[in-house]
């Protein structure tokens, strides 16, 4: 019996369980988790009307996920595509969306590269991450462009009071060495934290020819502060900088196959945010003004690019009660200003500088009456390069106390604006831009039920969505260019997840996702029809031993073979990971963790070899 079948049997035997999902929390009202991205203001999970998940630091630590993308494999509806070893280009697709249809926030800062128009998860590690929030489905009425598949919010803010210093050192397969230092101080509304981390790995030959190894290294630093200025006033500061070097192979002879060549890509990203907030959730009025900035630069040989993004905005929330109904109304005004530079060397034809400005206004309303929650949102964006867009969102949630369950329904629209490459082109001799492109727009609906029981919880969600004006690369003309499809792309499916406490200290969990994503009757590439995940997490009563097991299954999927420009099927695969840690004393712990323990041979992108079995060991200290 292969590991694919084993993983499915394990899932069935444990009630299709999955840890940490927001909608499956059975916490009491007093300690209920808050979803920051569930509305334009943080709201309790019981008021979220769309499918949402939360992964906290404990789950990330026990499962042994070094990279955010690997942690996201356990979330329903999320497919991961990594082009080779850890650190290589890694894309996330939610519910069959494109990779650039997912809005990614890091400490409330939009993290996608303005130049490439998407977020590369290759350099995103879980080091110091306190929680990851995922809100699935079309959310542009709340969060603007990119939010077609959903929104992912990665937070590094400490969640518990106290002073803490953490250090970690790890080494293992592929001559990998990593480490981090983190310090934090939190007391009530005051918080201050900082971290520096790094990783260096020689990797392996991504072309699969057992040639030159394609390595990866990064150094990341981050800081944050919540500084109370007086009663009801707080200033929040966030900063993050990362320098990444990635080795890769390329198709140097243009035959559609990777050649074993020693190429490197350097990426430097810096971002920061400052926000001034007044009021608390209990106050009648809450206000926030903010400004953020991102600078992303890449260099490969003589080719260099730079993208910058500045966001400025403000929002105000009015809270009031009429009879038995609690009302919350938020108004938002926001500006988004991007600039792009491309430099291929002196006199290169692809050299250019461009910019794009956007202004947006939005309203977000929520009403709570007894067990019912009603949510309505609308947003309008004015763009200077392409058509203006409007998006709406509506949701309803009903807590059914006699059944200990909750019914929710959500309708939403997602918008994706054309990007730099699509509008302006890159290599004029091969690819030219199309200034007449229209924004992509997706309209989706979902219906879900969440059931709590004595030892855990479970949920099922059905969803469907239609994508209009899908932007594609037209290889039928030369030079190649981008265009809008005249036919809609349809996506629909089911997501099942649950969480079961088997006994004290032992948690079992997992998920299943079924997807059908088609355009004109043909399957969309890199969207598996079936995804599954199973986790088993254990801590002994003395809290000295901790064991985590994760099994992530990716069903077969189609991809384009650029050697023939024909569709091929990438076989299904299952990745097994585990981690065992032992506390030597109150301060020090040692651990061993493994990735792809079954040594599956797989590809997530045609021509890019997947990672073989890897073992790592480390030492951590907490003061």
Res 9: pLDDT: 34
Return the exposure string of 87-108: e unless at least 16 CB atoms fall within 10 Å of the residue's CB, then b.
bbbbbbbbbbbbbbbbbbbbbb
Res 31: pLDDT: 60
Interatomic CA distance for residues 134 and 97, integer angstroms? 14
Number of DSSP helices (H) and strands (E) in the chain, helices first? 5, 36
Cβ–Cβ under 8 Å, residues 466 and 489: yes
Residue 36's φ and ψ, nearest 5 degrees, are: -65, -35
The parts of the chain modelled with pLDDT lower than 50 are 1-30
Nearest Cα to 48, choosing from 56, 60, 40? Answer: 40
Angstrom CA distances, 463 to 55, 92, 150, 253, 570, stand at 22, 18, 13, 43, 25
- Return the CA Rg of the chain: 24
Nearest Cα to 416, choosing from 442, 436, 443, 446? Answer: 442
Chain Cα centroid distance, residue 139? 14
pTM: 0.93
- CA distance from start to end of the chain: 46
Residue 155 in tokens = 């937070």
Residue 191's φ and ψ, nearest 5 degrees, are: -145, 140
Spatial neighbors of 349 by CB under 8 A, at least 6 apart, are 427, 428, 429
pLDDT tens per residue, range 278-320? 998 889 999 999 999 999 999 998 889 999 999 999 999 999 9
Residue ranges with strand state E in 57-161: 78-82, 90-94, 102-106, 109-110, 131-136, 150-155
Q: What angle do CA 602, 606, 608 make, to 5 degrees?
A: 65
Cβ–Cβ under 8 Å, residues 395 and 135: no
* Helix or strand run (H / E) with residue 58: helix 57-63
Interatomic CA distance for residues 549 and 542, integer angstroms? 20
Res 94: pLDDT: 97
Angstrom CA distances, 528 to 46, 360, 532, stand at 31, 35, 11
Residue 284's φ and ψ, nearest 5 degrees, are: -70, -35
pLDDT tens per residue, range 158-167? 988 999 999 9
Residue 252 in tokens = 């140097």
Domains of the chain as residue ranges with CATH: 3-622 (2.40.170.20)
Interatomic CA distance for residues 537 and 512, integer angstroms? 18
Res 529: pLDDT: 97
Interatomic CA distance for residues 294 and 282, integer angstroms? 33
Angstrom CA distances, 523 to 115, 206, 415, 467, 527, stand at 28, 26, 22, 14, 8
């Amino acid at each position: 019996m292969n590991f694919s079948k084993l993983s499915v049997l394990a899932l069935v035997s444990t009630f299709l369980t999955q840890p940490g999902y927001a909608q499956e929390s059975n916490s009491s009202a007093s300690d209920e988790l808050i979803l920051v991205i569930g509305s334009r203001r943080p709201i309790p999970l019981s008021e979220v009307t769309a499918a949402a998940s939360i992964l906290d630091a404990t789950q990330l630590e026990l499962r042994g996920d070094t990279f955010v993308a690997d942690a996201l494999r356990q979330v329903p509806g999320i497919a991961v595509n990594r082009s080779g070893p850890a650190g290589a280009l890694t894309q996330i697709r939610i519910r069959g969306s494109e990779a650039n249809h997912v809005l990614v926030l890091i400490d409330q800062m939009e993290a996608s590269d303005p130049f490439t128009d998407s977020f590369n998860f290759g350099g995103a590690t879980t080091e110091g991450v306190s929680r990851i929030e995922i809100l699935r489905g079309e959310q542009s009425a709340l969060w603007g462009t990119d939010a077609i598949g959903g929104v992912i919010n990665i937070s590094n803010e400490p969640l518990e009071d106290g002073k803490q210093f953490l250090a970690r050192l790890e080494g293992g397969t592929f001559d990998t060495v990593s480490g981090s230092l983190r310090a934090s101080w939190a007391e009530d509304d005051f918080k201050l934290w900082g971290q520096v981390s790094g990783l260096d790995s020689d990797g392996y030959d991504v072309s699969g020819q057992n040639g030159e190894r394609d390595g990866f290294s990064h150094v990341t630093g981050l800081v944050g502060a919540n500084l109370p200025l007086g009663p009801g006033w707080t200033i929040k500061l966030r900063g993050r900088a990362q320098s990444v070097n990635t080795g890769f192979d390329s198709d140097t002879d243009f035959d559609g196959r990777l050649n074993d060549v020693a190429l490197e890509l350097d990426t430097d990203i810096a971002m920061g945010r400052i926000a001034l907030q007044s009021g608390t959730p209990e106050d009648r009025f809450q206000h926030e003004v903010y400004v953020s900035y991102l600078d992303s630069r890449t260099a490969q040989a003589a080719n260099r690019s730079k993208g910058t993004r500045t966001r400025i905005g403000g929002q105000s929330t009015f809270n009031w009660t009429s009879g038995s109904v609690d009302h919350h109304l938020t108004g938002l005004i926001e500006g988004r200003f991007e600039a792009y530079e491309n430099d291929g060397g002196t006199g290169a034809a692809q050299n250019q500088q461009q910019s794009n400005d956007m202004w947006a206004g939005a309203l977000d309303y929520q009403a709570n009456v007894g067990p019912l929650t009603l949510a309505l949102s609308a947003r309008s964006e004015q763009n200077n390069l392409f058509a203006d867009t409007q998006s709406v969102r509506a949701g309803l949630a009903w807590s059914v106390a006699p059944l200990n369950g909750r019914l929710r329904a959500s309708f939403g629209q997602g918008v994706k604006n054309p990007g730099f490459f699509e509008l302006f082109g890159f290599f004029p001799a091969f690819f030219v831009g199309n200034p007449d492109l229209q924004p992509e727009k997706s309209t989706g609906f979902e219906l879900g039920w969440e059931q709590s029981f004595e030892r855990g919880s479970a949920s099922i969600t059905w969803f469907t969505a239609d994508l209009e004006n899908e932007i594609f690369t037209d290889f039928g003309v030369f030079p190649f260019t981008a265009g809008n499809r005249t036919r809609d792309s349809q996506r629909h499916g089911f997501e099942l997840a649950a969480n079961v406490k088997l006994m004290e200290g032992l948690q079992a969990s997992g998920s299943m996702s079924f997807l059908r994503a088609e355009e004109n009757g043909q399957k969309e590439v890199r969207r598996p029809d079936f995804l599954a995940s199973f986790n088993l997490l254990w801590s002994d009563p003395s809290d000295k031993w901790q064991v985590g097991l994760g099994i992530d299954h990716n069903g077969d999927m189609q991809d384009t073979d650029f050697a023939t420009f024909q569709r091929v099927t990438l076989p299904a695969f299952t990745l097994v990971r585990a981690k065992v840690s032992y506390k030597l004393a109150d301060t020090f712990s040692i651990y061993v963790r493994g990735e792809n323990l079954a040594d599956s041979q797989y590809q997530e992108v045609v021509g890019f070899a997947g990672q073989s079995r890897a073992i790592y060991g480390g030492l951590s200290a907490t003061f």
